[in-house]
Structure 1
Amino acid sequence: MSEAGEQTRRLIRGRRAEAAGRDAEGIAAAALRREDWAVLAQRARTPAGEIDLVAERDGLLAFIEVKARPSLSEAAFALGPRQRARLIAAAECWLAVHPGHGAAGMRFDVVIVAADGTARRIADAFRVGD
């Protein structure tokens, strides 16, 4: 395959992944709202990176990474150490701009979404220092 053909293939694959990620984030946000979470931000951009979702319920603030994969088991293992460190740094940036949130504490959750739209939330999926 030519270099141009490979670039086109990567571009198409990237666009599909982007669309799947947006769909998964929408599924995750809807699930959180059904559980009485207030979604404060989607795709929150910070100097340290993007946070998929920021939600709060009863003063508990959750920074949420959404992972979409063909199956829930594949999605469950998709958050590596570098991504955790990036999410922690991004959360610190977000908190600096929004200091009034999280009176009852904060945590990092992961919502995994399978290709069929099934979503599961892993509450308190990791902690700073893990």
Structure 2
Amino acid sequence: MTPGGASARRERGRRARRRGHWAERLCLWFLRLKGYSIVAHGHVTGRGTGAGEIDIVARRGRLLIFVEVKIRRQRSQAFGAISLNQRQRLSRAAAAFLGRHPEFSEHAVRFDAILLAPWRWPCHLIDAWREDA
């Protein structure tokens, strides 16, 4: 290993986290402008759930939307970054969120994705996948 290799990895990780937080903030405004109410963002479901973090939880009427935000150099790469394992993880996270927030138990659930690439408008994939798919 080269000297400073671990340091360089840490710096790349910090840059990736900053870019991800920036992308999520942009998507929060994007969704608000489209008429969605933001229920939560950066919601961590808790240890032991196997679910991890939900980027954005939004609501429109009686519909609760769990949004995965991906930023890559090209939008096609962003969609490809949402793997089957990640979709399953998000489904578990949604179930954990609903378990902790019974006020949304009567809401329909949808999974969306917002794909970002430099110098491109955000691409909002409505109903990007189904929980049972």
Q: Tell me the TM-score range normalised by the shorter chain.
A: over 0.9
1:15-54 residue pairs with structure 2 within 5 A?
Answer: 15-47=14-46, 48-54=51-57
Aligned length: 129
| TM-score, normalisation: structure 2 | 0.91
**Offset, 1:17:** 0.5
Change (3 A) 1:12 1:27: same
**Offset, 1:128:** 1.5
Distance in 2, matches of 1:56 and 1:102, equals: 13
1:85 corresponds to: 88
**3-state SS of the aligned residue for 1:115?**
coil
Say yes or no: does 1:113 pair with 2:116.
yes
**Offset, 1:58:** 1.2
**Offset, 1:104:** 4.5
2:12 corresponds to: 13
Superposed CA offset, 1:7-41 (max 9, x none): 11110110111011001101111110001100110
Distance in 1, matches of 2:55 and 2:120, equals: 17
Runs of 4+ aligned residues of structure 1 deviating over 6 Å after TM superposition are none
Distance in 2, matches of 1:103 and 1:36, equals: 20
Distance in 2, matches of 1:104 and 1:87, equals: 17
Distance in 2, matches of 1:63 and 1:33, equals: 14
Q: Which runs of 5+ in 1 are unaligned?
A: none
Amino acid at match of 2:17: E
- CA RMSD of the aligned region, Å? 1.4
Change (3 A) 1:102 1:65: farther
Amino acid at match of 1:36: G
Identical counterparts, % of pairs: 38
| TM-score, normalisation: structure 1 | 0.93
Change (3 A) 1:125 1:102: farther
Distance in 1, matches of 2:81 and 2:39, equals: 24
